[in-house]
Structure 1
């Protein structure tokens, strides 16, 4: 925009004075009205406001005291600034902001508030330089387009001062260089820059009726070329809505858009299309968008454009300023690729201000300072700040000291016997040891350097560079007194140092001390001593070495033997304690089981005695009345086999066709006693299961379901002893060609439950047969989703996943009842699509549920576990021993002894007819004779009355 002229400024000031006068008159009239209404309300308001001011002042003082104790309390700084701004304490507010900016980088919002306040307070040109300095500090913390735009617009106000126009252009140039590549906000800077130049253009154009002079024409041409250049530069950068900029250039340019500009524009447009998916991911994600920025940075690193890589890092760090890994990745890139001093050092400085607790960032900062030739005073200041940063572990202080000592060692010229740098290095080594002993040990309760790495480095420097073995030996003696004498590797380090820079006497002395003190690897130290004496020693030295090594090894073997015996005794005692606890637990369990069985037996005997009494009462036969009055429902068995309501316990009718008053016209047991063979492994049958037990007319229902598959030979649903449907059965077709069509109906819903359809296979002959193969290997093309809402359908899930690739199959996991478990498997065409789906879908919300998505990797089953069985030991217990439902709880019979059947082959009783099962309870004489007949009323009476 163009700068306002002096006349316009005078007019604006007059308008502001008129508005101020009107406001004062309105306030005076309001005050008069309030005086007429009364003074009580104003007094109350004054009291309330004074109380609020006192409370705010007390809170301000509390926050200032807290900051005096802990100046690094970030939230305390923010709260204090808010309160001071609310109270209008401008001087204190400026001081609080200044103090916070010295300790922390300020966010974009805090900087903009501060800058706007300072701009409002600055009315004279003499104070504009202070605002410029504040802007310069603001743009260094983060790369923020809004701050740069505010900076450029503010500079336009000073355009009338000497050199003001050049200063505005310089700020705009810095702004487009810093954030002009920002794909979503960079266009604001370019458009503001062009708007400014267009405003200048309007001032240099001559009036329409006058021919411009040569100087005016040159000035006009230069200004037009500036605008052309800005258009060309902007169209060469991939930015959002760059099509509108191109259309504006076409309209503005009198000679059209040059071909070279069009070519650059299309190239930038293609680049924007390549980056579009990253920008869209940022738009739909929520802050801090760390994963999306990581993917964006990786994409730009592959593209290899340094400017775009830099702006992407800056955008990521503006929202993830407290992520040390992001700063490490950025600084490493700058150190190894760009290597621009100002950019590298400023980024390192920002990194340690944002994450001061991260030692690696300070270490990288020190190396960068040395790499770019910073002066010694600057490096020392940075190191002192690092020591006060407050690292989270003791070893961090060892590493930062090592980095600083390495820097000091590289400054020393060891060709001189003494120098200022050498003395400074030795003083730093001495200070580091004191620091580790006093500050670090007191803070963390540990030294942080148990192996005395710093002291070892110092000893090597003294021996290697300074030729001062006396100092090196003193340092190693100090190292050994700090608990390191028992480690063989420490003695061997010292021995190698003596071998390289010492003499034979001290080498032998070191090895003899090592043999005496080492406890972790004494054999190795003894071997080194003997090898040394073979090369360097005399016979006397050899004899002494052999004697010492033998004595040491014998003592070590005795100690190891005692330790092994002690460990074995402890292990044996532990085993005895475990065995004793196991035995005690089993005894308690057996005792509890015996008591429970006794109580159950007493209860069962009482019930049997009661039933016997009831049977004795009702054993007298009653006849029907002659007049046909059937008021009584008491019956006894006749040739037709009828009983009354008090049938004897354990009674079962002899045939399925007998009718009783309770059973009505059709006895349900007739179905169970069907003599048709079971349909197994015949090639033309299927097994149906998981049907609801309350299914009415199962034969008709199954016929309606499967008649479309082909001609049906027979349908056999399975019923219980009481006549209720057990939820499964068999369907036999006339042709085996109908079986594949029937298997396609697997999982079809029948009255709210998924019906299972599987091949009819005799599992006794095919024990390893399984319809569903449980996959135990990782399936990289398939994803597993958990946490789905129970209302989610297969179609909804397919719609959710189809955006990430080609879907081959979707399977929702349900219970046997058909109710969903909230789990699903989705199979994609390849591994890449599945990986992309995991990355994008994991953690998203689906109808208020946060789902988890991972590559399908089912857990491996234990070797003892068998498919279709919930117990690993199910095959170890014969099923026929304990009945159809396995082992009972008490193992005691619930029938009277007189009603117990004789043992018969399981297969005969299971597959025999009702008459055969009835004959199994007759006497042994009848069985021997081979007789088979139905039991009469007198037979039952004899059995029940027999004692």
Structure 2
């Protein structure tokens, strides 16, 4: 073997030297032809060779770090084949084939290269071995056809013809049912037998001997049999095969063969739609293959089910779910050892990161009686496969420990298998501590499940309660002593296999240590003493539980008080900030009013016998208006622009045409306030629309057009500011509650370049804990988070990239409120395994010159502060601050002078029951300056005094 290997290496080196000589001759020919740029071309060629060599070395170093980098293997093989590095190329292919099944293209390239290298007869066996490896990876008709054709070249050797026929028969068994490509193998087999027929036919004019006639008849029967077998199988274009048989057969087609052909033709017609859908579908064709497999599973033909699965896996070899379905079918239905185990082996080689496939493989090995060493080797490979979650290592260890436990005969006090089981438990704990926690920065087994199982085995099977107690002591020291359920699990173990003394000790320790449900643990202790304990034990238990619960209640009260104080301090600071901000705004607006003139509104009674002051103050500077009011002018006030106003007696229309009365102004303000106040009417029939553009024209009409598709509308209520500008949100009320779910589906739809937010219409005064954020904020193992995306990347482009790694259910690009992209996205796959595969393959990928990062979706927890009115336990103890329907809104400043501000508190009652007004200059409980009690309308001089009052 060593000599053969050395000879092959020498041959490879010679071929590499020949390739180098050919390149030199080509360059010499170029110089002889007078090529002017020959030197430049040589320089460019040498530069390319240096770059390629550097890239080859980089890829080899990367593989030495991570041997499971599939794409790195492929790139290295391409470069080595391009450079003609035949020896290194063979070694690279061998390394890759040890870790992964190779695709049909890689195998065909490798086989063709090896066939050229082994033209001599003694080396044909090496190519045969390579073909045997190739046909085991995937069911590929082209590889089987190449194998058969290569074997025909060696049919001159002893037993060569029988070897060719054996390979053809195996090919028919493997791919003969392939509806689109199986026909080529059948035809190649018939052509070979027809060629063999010509060798046994006697020359024309000579009568064959008896032996020659027997050989001739045997060969003819072989061809007849091939036709009959093929016509009984549903294949595409089988009509041409039937016509060929009619022409070839001298006696015509027998009735039985014709009947079988018609039945197969009907089966082909039933499957033709599935085959056509596969031809036109784009990769990975998962939906089409799934429909095809469902049909074959319903038909129940094991051979056709197997070939359909194999075809699907040849195109979707990196889809763990497909392997799971196939191996599950083989485990439960066919149960053929060689087929089952080979399929499990191919599954874990294609998807080594999927723990479920390794677990199924271990169970299949045990089920079919594999040797212990074989199962242990497979388990060691699983540990090195590189799972993406810490919990996966816990699961695979549990599967292996279950297998080891089933090997132990517990009727013996000691055995080799029992010692191996205990050693494996110890190793698993060490592995989880050193390898898993260091890699993932978290414990894959926080509840110490493995240790709990070990303790139960020691207690139940080995009757070793001392070891079980040691294990539970270790469990409690790992941060589990504060949980009541852990103590109760330990108590149940002692209750079943221990003694009352240790039960009592466990419960006493539980009472002292439990933090989450101490009341429950105390109750269990008291119930235990009712059944098992003496009066002294009962007294001790009562005293201990009372002491513990009193201490717990004191701690809870202190914690509640502390949190209440913190919350109160925060409220006080916030209130101080609001007051300071309000005073600052009042000062700014007061100064602005003094410079540019203020508007003020008076009571309706003031306008029955006084000037139309609102109109006057709108047109004149403040000082001039005051002078006019103070001058006592009875009828008209004239300025440079003419008539401005007149005194209006009671019962007459105030002011000139176009002037607003106070009643009209207040009515308009009230209407604006009513529109601005989001009082919810028929919440169950309404939705809230937000994030609309402030510049949206005719928002009511556009929203009505958009939401009419969801059902009959009762009202569309856009919200405007006091200035009449659209605020960017509105309410839509439907006639029926059934329209609301349809409207919510329009969430995030773009309206004039901005994503429109549609949420349920809920009054947060009555539902303070309502959250409209609809996306999950916890870990979602079937969803990936992509960052670093180019801003120009569309949803369709990202979906196309992700389709190569599984079934994409949803793609969500994260945007700002304006609709501009953030370069982030969430992609939801059909299951966890596909998402894990996408993380492995896409992390670090370059997309439009941007290197993207990919991880399992695990959004950080929101640090939400409790709002007033929430259901939190701490805030329930605090006095609740009353807010409006929109919560804590921004400060609203009045445009009236401070002296005209109305009191915010309720009107004081006079002795006679009539409402009186506070005395001017005084400050009420709300901090507002009041008016003196009035019984008659104010005069012009009164208004002047109030306006000039500081």
**By the TM > 0.5 criterion, same fold?**
yes
Q: Who is 2:356 aligned against?
A: 360
Measured after TM superposition, the shift of residue 433 of structure 1 is 0.9
- Is 1:413–2:393 an aligned residue pair? no
Q: For residues 720-779 of structure 1, what are the alpha-carbon distances to aligned partners after superposition, in whole Å with 9 as ceiling and x for unaligned?
A: xxxxxx9xxxxxxxxxxxxxxxxxxxx9xxxxxxxx9xx9x999xxxxx99998961779
Q: For residues 206-265 of structure 1, what are the alpha-carbon distances to aligned partners after superposition, in whole Å with 9 as ceiling and x for unaligned?
A: 233222233222222222222222222222222221222222222222222223222322
Q: Who is 1:140 aligned against?
A: 136
Measured after TM superposition, the shift of residue 424 of structure 1 is 0.7
User: 1:605 aligned to 589, 595, 619, which one?
Assistant: 619
Moved more, 352-361 or 274-283: 274-283
Q: Who is 1:177 aligned against?
A: 173
Report if aligned partners of 2:394, 2:445 keep a CA contact under 8 Å in 1: yes
Report if aligned partners of 2:397, 2:428 keep a CA contact under 8 Å in 1: yes
- Is 1:168–2:164 an aligned residue pair? yes
User: 2:465 aligned to 469, 484, 497, which one?
Assistant: 469
Measured after TM superposition, the shift of residue 350 of structure 1 is 0.9
Q: 1:200 to 1:526 in 2, by over 3 A?
A: same
Q: 1:220 to 1:785 in 2, by over 3 A?
A: farther
Q: For residues 160-213 of structure 1, what are the alpha-carbon distances to aligned partners after superposition, in whole Å with 9 as ceiling and x for unaligned?
A: 111111111111111121112222212111111122122212222223322223
The within-5 A match list for 1:389-404 is 389-404=385-400
User: 1:776 aligned to 711, 718, 739, which one?
Assistant: 739
Q: Who is 2:366 aligned against?
A: 370
- Is 1:546–2:546 an aligned residue pair? no
Gapped regions of structure 2 (runs ≥ 5): 1-20, 600-616, 625-636, 644-655, 660-697, 699-704, 717-731, 754-806, 812-884, 886-893, 898-950
Write the distance in 2 (CA, Å) between the matches of 1:457 and 1:555. Answer: 35
Write the distance in 2 (CA, Å) between the matches of 1:319 and 1:334. Answer: 20
User: 2:109 aligned to 106, 109, 113, which one?
Assistant: 113
Measured after TM superposition, the shift of residue 45 of structure 1 is 4.3
Q: Who is 1:350 aligned against?
A: 346
Q: Who is 1:566 aligned against?
A: 562
Write the distance in 1 (CA, Å) between the matches of 2:288 and 2:170. Answer: 28
Report if aligned partners of 2:27, 2:38 keep a CA contact under 8 Å in 1: no
Q: Who is 1:102 aligned against?
A: 98
Q: For residues 800-855 of structure 1, what are the alpha-carbon distances to aligned partners after superposition, in whole Å with 9 as ceiling and x for unaligned?
A: xxxxxxxxxxxxxxxxxxxxxxxxxxxxxxxxxxxxxxx99999xxxxxxxxxxxx
The within-5 A match list for 1:570-719 is 570-573=566-569, 599=596, 605=619
Q: 1:29 to 1:231 in 2, by over 3 A?
A: closer
Write the distance in 1 (CA, Å) between the matches of 2:715 and 2:529. Answer: 81
Measured after TM superposition, the shift of residue 270 of structure 1 is 2.4
User: 1:521 aligned to 510, 517, 542, which one?
Assistant: 517
User: 2:193 aligned to 197, 210, 231, which one?
Assistant: 197
Write the distance in 1 (CA, Å) between the matches of 2:519 and 2:715. Answer: 67
Q: Which has the higher contact order (CA 8 A, sep 6+)?
A: 2
Q: Who is 2:203 aligned against?
A: 207
SS in 2 for 1:321: coil
Q: 1:785 to 1:152 in 2, by over 3 A?
A: farther
RMSD: 4.5
Write the distance in 2 (CA, Å) between the matches of 1:50 and 1:840. Answer: 45
Q: 1:104 to 1:585 in 2, by over 3 A?
A: farther
Write the distance in 2 (CA, Å) between the matches of 1:173 and 1:784. Answer: 60
SS in 1 for 2:212: helix
Measured after TM superposition, the shift of residue 572 of structure 1 is 4.4
How many residues of Structure 1 are paired with residues of Structure 2 in the alignment? 643
Choose 1 or 2 for highest CA Rg: 1
Write the distance in 1 (CA, Å) between the matches of 2:77 and 2:244. Answer: 44
Q: TM-score, normalised by structure 1?
A: 0.61
Q: Who is 2:493 aligned against?
A: 497
Report if aligned partners of 2:178, 2:235 keep a CA contact under 8 Å in 1: yes
Q: Who is 1:847 aligned against?
A: none
Q: 1:842 to 1:534 in 2, by over 3 A?
A: closer
- Is 1:382–2:378 an aligned residue pair? yes
Write the distance in 1 (CA, Å) between the matches of 2:734 and 2:439. Answer: 65
Q: Who is 2:272 aligned against?
A: 276
Q: TM-score, normalised by structure 2?
A: 0.61
User: 2:59 aligned to 54, 60, 63, which one?
Assistant: 63
User: 2:504 aligned to 499, 508, 527, which one?
Assistant: 508
Write the distance in 2 (CA, Å) between the matches of 1:538 and 1:841. Answer: 64
- Is 1:124–2:138 an aligned residue pair? no
Write the distance in 2 (CA, Å) between the matches of 1:762 and 1:226. Answer: 83
Write the distance in 2 (CA, Å) between the matches of 1:575 and 1:164. Answer: 94
Q: Who is 1:808 aligned against?
A: none
Q: Who is 1:810 aligned against?
A: none
Write the distance in 1 (CA, Å) between the matches of 2:298 and 2:590. Answer: 76
SS in 1 for 2:739: coil
Q: 1:785 to 1:30 in 2, by over 3 A?
A: closer
Measured after TM superposition, the shift of residue 606 of structure 1 is 6.7
Write the distance in 2 (CA, Å) between the matches of 1:375 and 1:348. Answer: 16
SS in 1 for 2:501: helix
Q: For residues 108-148 of structure 1, what are the alpha-carbon distances to aligned partners after superposition, in whole Å with 9 as ceiling and x for unaligned?
A: 11111111111111111211111111111111111111111
Write the distance in 1 (CA, Å) between the matches of 2:735 and 2:532. Answer: 76
Q: Who is 1:655 aligned against?
A: none
Write the distance in 1 (CA, Å) between the matches of 2:257 and 2:584. Answer: 93
Q: 1:190 to 1:45 in 2, by over 3 A?
A: same
